[in-house]
Amino acid sequence: MQNVTVVGLGKIGLTLAAQFANRGFFVRGVDINEAVVDSVNKGISPIVNEPGLSDLLEQTFKNNTLTATTNTVESVQQSEIVVVIVPILIKENNDTDYQFMDAAMESIGKGLKENTLVIIETTLSTGDTRNRLGKRLEEESGLKMGINFSLAYSPERVQSNRILSDLKSYPKIVGGIDDKSLNLAADFYEKALQCEVIKVSSLETAEFTKVAECVYRDVNIALANELAIYAEKKGVNMKEVRYAGNSEPLSNIHEPGIGVGGHCIPIYPYFFINRDLGKGIITLAREVNDNMSQYAIELIEKEIGSVSNQNVLILGLAFRGNVKEPTKSSTLLVIKALKEKGANIFVNDPLFTNEEIEKYGVTALPLDEIKNVDVVILQALHNEYKDLDFKNLKNAKVILDGRNVLNREKIEANGIKYRGIGVR
Ligand SMILES: NC(=O)c1ccc[n+]([C@@H]2O[C@H](COP(=O)([O-])OP(=O)(O)OC[C@H]3O[C@@H](n4cnc5c(N)ncnc54)[C@H](O)[C@@H]3O)[C@@H](O)[C@H]2O)c1
């Protein structure tokens, strides 16, 4: 049985670790968070709302094929394969924040022995695996990449809340520092994930592919948003335009919305922007998407006048429906804009505790206490909102449907105005 260390037991890392451990590998999961490690060692998933993960973890617990630890050095010393999936984020000023990855490389390098295969999965700027991470490993270990240890890059392309099904159905893209690294990593994924593997010609090709995918999404959503703003001005329904326009096979007009959030799409464009691509469509797309929260408030004010002193309820702190993830959620931009306008801000999110919600300087509001709300903004369509009883919104004047998914007829039947993005 081969020994694998997975560094970073977050939403993605823990799911990968559990999957590897159920596919014939002995897995050591490493995290700096002791609560995560304790939970995994009890066979209990600290990640909520990830279909299939709890069962998989229970299975690894029974089979004794996954253990967790905070000791990266020791774990790497005992492994033939090391998979790294700790986050790289951006700072307030949009500079890349490598603190977690640099710390991980330092510890992995200290435990690295000859002939280990290191695979990086975290999304990176093109060139980082070779020029930053590989170099750190060399400095710490005294070993040479491509000579004493193998190095590969394979981006993680799955989405939270459907990780296991995406792992099965999405091809795994793999690049290596040399043919040996490429083939070792490809063989590993074929066994451990039993999915299609696409081998690409370099580490940089694999890195660039993932960022290009994310930027493609960001730019196309921005285009949809711009079209929706124009449709609104012209009194045209964007939903109808998408339906009719996308009947042409080459047309793929995306869904417009109140903004783009999460770990990936709003972050990775800066990997280009920060490396001399600061002008042009990628930067513009970021601006367009981040301005949608402001635009949504303008739509509300067109209906009811100023939101100052109005009770505004945002549905969903999460960036996306049914995912407990507030990173870069459009709700944070909506909150900022509403604060500047002097609104009374309430947030509901069944996936978060009141304490977790209220640290954003808003009041948490349960769904059975919404009768005094004047305005509702839907940001994330959690299952709980799909059958929302609009009768309970006794005071509401307008609902801004930030995802164009609510039932307009039912809303209007209760005397509440409905506005979508590009949908009157
Ligand atoms: N979440 C997604 O939907 C998604 C999708 C595709 C790709 N990704 C990629 O996966 C990466 C991780 O995402 P996630 O959602 O699993 O993140 P997460 O925030 O859920 O988890 C990251 C984990 O890494 C741990 N960690 C941080 N520094 C560490 C270190 N030095 N050593 C060991 N553990 C450390 C943290 O404690 C945390 O448990 C992202 O940065 C991105 O590149 C994420």
Secondary structure letter of residue 418 according to DSSP:
E
Q: Which amino acid is at 35?
A: A
Secondary structure letter of residue 48 according to DSSP:
-
Secondary structure letter of residue 22 according to DSSP:
T
Helix-strand-coil split of the chain, %, nearest 5: 45, 15, 40
Distances (CA, A) of 18 to 9, 54, 190, 259, 419: 10, 9, 16, 33, 43
Q: Could you tell me the residue ranges of all domains in the chain?
A: 3-204, 237-424
Task: Work out which ligand 1 atom sits closest to the CA atom of 10.
Answer: 21
> Would you say the CATH fold of 237-424 matches that of 3-204?
yes
Task: Work out which ligand 1 atom sits closest to the CA atom of 88.
Answer: 41
The class (CATH top level) of 237-424 is alpha beta
Query: What is the residue with the minimal CA distance to atom 9 of ligand 1?
Result: 122
Alpha helices in 306-374 (DSSP H): 330-341, 354-358
Strand 81-84, strand 96-97: pairing: unpaired
Which tokens sit at 251?
């047309």
Task: Work out which ligand 1 atom sits closest to the CA atom of 33.
Answer: 37
Distance 10 CA to ligand 1 centre (A): 5
Query: What is the residue with the minimal CA distance to atom 17 of ligand 1?
Result: 10
pLDDT score of 92? 82
Residue ranges of the chain whose pLDDT lies below 70: 276, 278
Query: What is the residue with the minimal CA distance to atom 31 of ligand 1?
Result: 104
Distances (CA, A) of 173 to 10, 176, 202, 206: 21, 10, 11, 6
pLDDT score of 49? 84
pLDDT score of 94? 82
Task: Please tell me whether residue 123 adopts helix, strand or coil conformation.
Answer: coil
- The residue to mutate among 5, 6, 9, 11, having the most atoms of ligand 1 within 8 angstroms of its beta carbon, is 11
Could you give the angle at the alpha carbon of 31 between the alpha carbons of 176 and 171, nearest 5°? 35
Q: What is the pTM of this model?
A: 0.91
How does pLDDT run across 67-77, given as a tens digit for each residue?
999 999 999 99
Distance 90 CA to ligand 1 centre (A): 13
Distance 31 CA to ligand 1 centre (A): 10
Q: What is the architecture, at CATH level 2, of domain 3-204?
A: 3-Layer(aba) Sandwich (3.40)
pLDDT score of 278? 67
Distance 145 CA to ligand 1 centre (A): 24
Could you give the angle at the alpha carbon of 224 between the alpha carbons of 219 and 226, nearest 5°? 90
Q: For 129-156, b where at least 16 C-beta lie within 10 A, e where not — what string?
A: bbebbbebbbebbebebeeebbbbbbbb
Distance 54 CA to ligand 1 centre (A): 18
Query: Is 384 within 8 Å of 218 (Cβ atoms)?
Result: no
pLDDT score of 374? 97
pLDDT score of 272? 81
Task: Work out which ligand 1 atom sits closest to the CA atom of 323.
Answer: 3
Query: Measuring from each residue's beta carbon to the nearest atom of ligand 1, which residues come in under 6 Å?
Result: 7-13, 30-33, 36, 72, 85-88, 100, 103-104, 122-123, 156, 158-160, 263-264
pLDDT score of 183? 98
